[in-house]
Amino acid sequence: MKLNGAQIVIECLREQGVDTIFGYPGAATINIYDELYRNEDWLTHVLTSHEQGAAHAADGYARATGKVGVVLATSGPGATNLVTGIATAYMDSVPMVAITGNVTLAQLGKDSFQEVDIFGITTPVVKHNYMVKDIRELAPALREAFQIARSGRPGPVLVDIPKDITVEETEYAPHRPVFDVKRPVEHIDPVVLELIREAKKPMILAGGGVIRSGASRSLQAFAEKVQAAVACTLMGIGCMPYDHPLYTGNIGMHGSMISNISINECDLLISVGARFSDRVIGKEGSFAANARKLHFDIDPAEVNKNVLVDGHVVGDIDEILKTLLPLVEQKDNSPWLAQINELRLENSHTYDEDVLSVPTILKRIAALGSPEDIVVTDVGQHQMWTAQHYPFMKPNKFLTSGGLGTMGYGLGAAIGAQWAFRENRVVMITGDGSFRMNFNEIITAVRNKLPIKIFVMNNYALGMVRQWQNLFYDDRFSATNFDDDIDYVGFARSMGADGFVIRNVGELDDVVRQAFASPKVCVVNCIVEQGSNVYPMVPPGKAIHEAISK
C-alpha cells in the first residue's frame, strides 16, 4: 500500500510497540502531528512546555520501563532544544529515538528559516543518526533507529526528516520488529576463573550496565557465591538492595568511605557494567592499586580505556553472570567480610536527626514511602545525598543524570516515569538551583494529572559549586548565593499544584504525609542550612580513599 512519509512515521511507531511519545509541534513536523491526531486512539502524545523537558521525559520513561523512549520536535530551535536531553541519554546509555523535522530538501544548506544541521550537531552524542533524503529510506531508517537504540549498549538515535519527505508517497509494507536477543557468552578466558578462585578479598564494582541488562538478581547470586563486597556507581544504585550485607554503598567522589577504602584494600576488583569514569576512580594510578582487575562489559571499547585490566569478558551482563555462576565455586571469605563490617562500623554516615538536613528529610521520605516508589533527582548536593542515604531496594527506582550531570533533568524525567507507572509514587528530589531550570514542566504534570511529589532542598544557593568555593576557594562565593526568596508554595498553587513548606523537623512527617496523600502535583519547599556540605568528598588530585570525611 502507498503511504506518505508522515503516515509511515506513525506506522513504524506502531510496529515498534510505541504507545507514548513526548514532544512539541512546529511547522516542519505539522504533517506528522496531523497523523498523530488521526491515531490518537492508540498513540498518545504528551505535550511538554519545552523540547528539553520532552527529551528528559522520554529518557525517564526509558529508564523506568526499559523500553525505548521517543521524542518528537520540529526543526531549528526545536531540534537544538533536544540536544541536552539527547546528550544526557548518551552519557548514561539510555535507549531513545529522537525524531526531528527539517526544512524541505530544496531549502537545505541555504540558511532557511529554522534550518539547522541537527545531524552534524548531534553526531558526537548519539549512537547513530540519519538524515532521510529519500522517502524510500524513511521506514528502514526508523526501524534501524529502534534496533540500534535498544541493542548492545543502549543509547539515543536521531532521525531527521525534511518536511517534503513527510508528504511524499511510497509503497509501504509492515515489518515485524527485530528485538535484540541476548546472545550466550561462548567463551570465558581461564584467567578470569583463576583470578576469581584465588581472590581472598574480592570486590565488585557494579555499574549501570547491570540495570540496563536486567541482571540485578544474577549479580546478587554471583556476589554471594564468590563472597565479594559490592560497591555501586551512581548509575548502578539499586542493583543490590541497600540492606544487603555485601553492599558497601556508592563509590567515588562522594561515595561511602566503606566503598572507597575497601577498593584500596581488595585483592581482586571485578567491574561489572561500569566504565571507570573519572568521578569513580579519582587519582589515576591510585585506584585499586593493590588489586588484580577484571572487566565485564557489553562495550569492548570500554575495556582498557580508563583502567588497564588483567582479564575481561565482553557481552550482555546478565548472560556473563549466568555463564559464570556454575563455573565458580562457593567461596568462604569470612575474614574479608569481617574487615568490611569493621569498616562499616567505623565509617557509617551519621547525621543529626533533630536538624532539618537533607539526609534527615530523605530518611523520613523513605520511611513514609514504599520500596516501589520511583525517585528522580536533579544534579548537585541533593543528588549525592540521595545516592548516599536513600535506601533503594530495587533496580530502576533511582533516575538521575550521571555522566552529563544535567541540572534541570529531574522534572522531565519524573513526568516520563510517572506517565509509565501511574500506580507508583514518583518522588522528585531537587535543589533550588536545579529546580529553577525546568520548573515550567509543572504545567505538563498538572495538565496530565501526574501527581509527582517534588521536594525542593532549598538552601538559597547553588550548593555544590558553593561547597567547592567553601573548601578550595577561601569562601569566595562567586554567583552561588541566592538573595531572592521565591514563594514556591504560591508558585505551585498558581500552577494548579499543591504547595507546602517545611522549616523544622517537627513539621517533617506531617507535611510528607499530606504531600503523599494529595492527588495533585506537590511542591514541598524544604528550608535547609545553606552551609551544609556533602561528605565524603574527594579533593582534586587525590585518591578516593583519601576523601574528606567531615
Instruction: Give the Cα separation of 390 and 374 in Å (integer).
Output: 11
Answer yes or no: are the C-beta atoms of 177 and 17 closer than 8 Å. Answer: yes
SS3 for 194-231 is HHHHHCCCEEEEECHHHHHHCCHHHHHHHHHHHCCEEE
- DSSP tag of 547: -
Looking at the annotation, which residues are catalytic?
51, 113-114, 163, 464
Fold matches, 2-171 and 190-347: yes
Which H/E stretch holds residue 525? strand 522-527
CA 48-51-52 angle, 5° bins: 105
Write out residues in the chain with pLDDT < 50, as ranges.
none
Q: What is the secondary structure of 129-153 as a DSSP string?
A: EEE--SGGGHHHHHHHHHHHHHSSS
Q: Within a 10 A sphere around the Cβ of 112, how many other Cβ atoms?
A: 15
CATH for the 358-527 domain, from 3.40.50.970, 3.40.630.30, 1.10.490.10, 3.90.79.10: 3.40.50.970
| Domain range list for the chain | 2-171, 190-347, 358-527
CA atoms within 13 A on the CB side of 254: 19
Taking the C-alpha atoms of residue 283 and residue 330, their distance in angstroms, rounded to an integer, is 34
Task: Return the pLDDT at 187.
Answer: 84
Rounded Cα–Cα distance for residues 438 and 417 (Å): 16
Q: What is the DSSP string of 242-269?
A: TT-TTEEEE-STT--HHHHHHHHH-SEE
- Burial of 265 (C-beta count, 10 Å sphere; 0-12/13-18/19+): middle
From the options 3.90.550.10, 3.40.50.1220, 3.20.20.10, 3.30.70.590, give the CATH code of 190-347: 3.40.50.1220
Q: Angle, nearest 10°, between helix axes 381-389 and 358-368?
A: 50
* Global pTM value: 0.96
Q: Report how far residue 232's alpha carbon sits from residue 239's, in angstroms, rounded to the nearest whole number.
A: 8
- Which residues, in sequence order, are bridge partners of residue 22? 46, 71
Q: Which CATH class is domain 2-171?
A: alpha beta
